[in-house]
Structure 1
Amino acid sequence: MGIEINEYIEMGRFNSKEAGYYVLEHDAPSPDEQEIIESIPFMQGVYDFSMLLGEKVFDNRKLTVKLYRPLTSYEERKRLEQEAKEQLILNEVSAITDSWLDGCHWLGKCTSVIAEDDQSRNVLILTITFDCYPFALKDAAGYTDEFDVDYFVDGVDQWTGFFVKGQRNILLINEGVNATSPIITATGKMQLITDDGESLDIQKGQNQDLFFKLKRGENHLTIIGSGHIRFITETEVMV
């Protein structure tokens, strides 16, 4: 009886567990920070402007997974190598399910599939590299209102969709590690006002203003108008 496969990686049609691979190695180092450090003439030391927008900014991170498939014939090894490359390399940027993560997934693309064929042991080893968004994304997206009524979501217990008649004060909690720009859908024209006095015009249908962000933690908003409004975004976490 073989050892049960518990860990796996999945992207598109490729699922390492279903294909019979064991995970030998898993490496997802923290992403590099985009630093802006300047030296000013006649001033002591240097100035770090990396937090100019109020939060750190990171480059993409590299995820590397080494897979091991034992007791595999030569013809089967050739087929599996070709199949893995076709299923992974041709994918665009999409969700990557990683059993190493708990309740989260990566967003990225596969950049490399390197195969090692061990004829003496009938073993196929694949080293797969992904270029990923620096943060992992929670599987339970915050602020989603699937049924067009007020209801709770996993994570933070909060309303995510709101019926508005005239004016309504609402609270949205961004449980992620940084500010995020939500997709806002509305059944009619509305106006959104933040607790800082910032105003945003909401049109009927789907809206997303990349300059409007839900800050980390509590966001007290005022909605003016009539109809239904909902907020859709993904919670980012650093792992």
Structure 2
Amino acid sequence: MMSGIAFMGKHSFKDFGYTISPDKEIGIAEKQKNLITVPFSNSSYDFSELYGSQTYSPRSLTYPINIVNEGNPSRNALISARTRLLNWLANSPGKQPLLDDDYPGYYFLAELDQGASFHDDWRTGILTANFTAYPFMIGTRPEGNDIWDEFNFELDVAQQVRFDVNSSLSVNLLNVGTPDVIPEIVTSSGMFLRKGNTTLEVPTGRNKSDDFTLESGDNMITITGTGTIEFVYYKEML
């Protein structure tokens, strides 16, 4: 099966029969720096993380899609194919998951808002789709999953994210990604979480709080209560 991209429920090769040129470009997000230069000095101060973690710029994705209509090599068929592809790629309500077969286990959150270009020789053509994406690739499966055949020994980590708590329990959650992530917290009863100087009261059910994040690396958490608790989050990589 030829590799391609999946977006808005369709695949470039499986549904349309078109291949992606090897000239595709997967941009890398850049750090957004806030440097203040000291007057009359060669020194400067970096305030990029003054209000939290380091921020990154959006990343660009460029996919040249080869259009070859072997069964009907006419000009009208080529234009129809271009129109069909454009309506597929551009008709998204904001950024949507884009899966690239060359990056298994991840997806990009992207939108065709940079437009597209089209070049042809009457019978064949190349539609170049330019996406703007969220800075990080997002894992398709939550941390703590036990699907061994998909485990990446270079990037993944085996860890427990669901715990039985009886009065009090200290756990360490590892965020192997680059940015901070906000986990969904699923509990069978009300509990309290303490992480550093932050204390969060978590009611029964599924909850999220902007005040409770997992930084890149180790996250030591003390859980107080009785019942089961699970942390649902996905790694995000550059």
Q: Same fold (TM over 0.5)?
A: yes
Given the alignment of the two structures, is residue 11 of structure 1 paired with residue 14 of structure 2, yes or no? no
Shift of 1:214: 1.1
Q: 1:180: how far off?
A: 1.5
Greater Cα offset, 128-137 or 203-212? 203-212
| Distance in 2, Cα, partners of 1:33 & 1:168 | 37
- Alpha-carbon deviation of 1:210? 1.6
Residue 227 of structure 1 and its aligned partner are, at CA, apart by: 2.2
Cα distance in 1 for residues equivalent to 2:105 and 2:183: 20
2:170 counterpart of 1:172: no
Secondary structure at 2:24's aligned position in 1? strand
Equivalent AA in structure 2 for residue 199 of structure 1? T
Check whether the contact 2:143–2:159 (CA below 8 A) recurs between aligned residues: no
Could you tell me which amino acid in structure 2 is paired with residue 11 of structure 1?
Answer: F
Q: Deviations over 1:19-66 (max 9, x none)?
A: 121222211222232110112345542222224356431111110110
1:118 aligns with 2:127: no
Residue 152 of structure 1 contacts residue 158 of structure 1 at CA under 8 Å; is this kept in 2?
A: no
Match status 1:133 vs 2:129: no
Q: CA deviation at 1:68?
A: 0.8
Q: 1:113 to 1:14 in 2, by over 3 A?
A: farther
1:27 and 2:30 correspond:
no
Residue 218 of structure 1 and its aligned partner are, at CA, apart by 2.0
In structure 1, the residue matched to 2:210 is 210
| 1:57 partnered with 2:55 | yes
What residue is the counterpart of 2:107 in the other structure?
Answer: 105
- Pairwise CA distance, 1:78: 2.5
Amino acid at match of 1:97: L
Structure 1, unpaired ranges of 5+: 145-150
Aligned partner of 2:19: which letter? Y
> What is the distance in 1 between the residues matched to 2:76 and 2:203?
58
Query: Percent sequence identity over matched residues?
Result: 24
Alpha-carbon RMSD across the aligned residues, in angstroms, is: 2.3
Residues 3 and 102 in structure 2, CA contact (< 8 A), matched pair in contact too: yes
Q: CA deviation at 1:91?
A: 1.1
* Gap runs ≥5 in structure 2: none
C-alpha displacement at 1:143, in angstroms? 4.6
SS at match of 1:82: helix
Tell me how far apart the structure 1 counterparts of residues 144 and 204 of structure 2 sit (CA, whole Å).
18
Q: Identify if the C-alpha distance between structure 1 residues 135 and 219 changes in structure 2 by more than 3 Å, giving closer, same or farther.
A: same
Question: Do the aligned partners of 1:13 and 1:87 also contact (CA within 8 Å) in 2?
Answer: no
> Contact between 1:14 and 1:84, CA under 8 Å: does it hold in 2?
no
C-alpha distance after superposition, 1:107-166 (max 9, x if no partner): 1112223333321xx10211101110111112222156xxxxxx7885322112122232
1:147 is matched with none
Structure 1 consecutive aligned stretches of length 4 or more whose deviation exceeds 4 Å: 151-154
| TM-score normalised to structure 1 length | 0.84
**Who is 2:84 aligned against?**
83
Change (3 A) 1:125 1:44: closer
Deviates more, 1:93-102 or 1:127-136: 93-102
In the alignment, is the contact (CA less than 8 A) between 1:95 and 1:108 conserved in 2?
A: yes
> Secondary structure at 1:58's aligned position in 2?
coil
User: How many residues end up aligned between the 2 structures?
Assistant: 225
Matched, 1:36 2:38: no
Range with bigger deviation, 129-138 or 155-164: 155-164
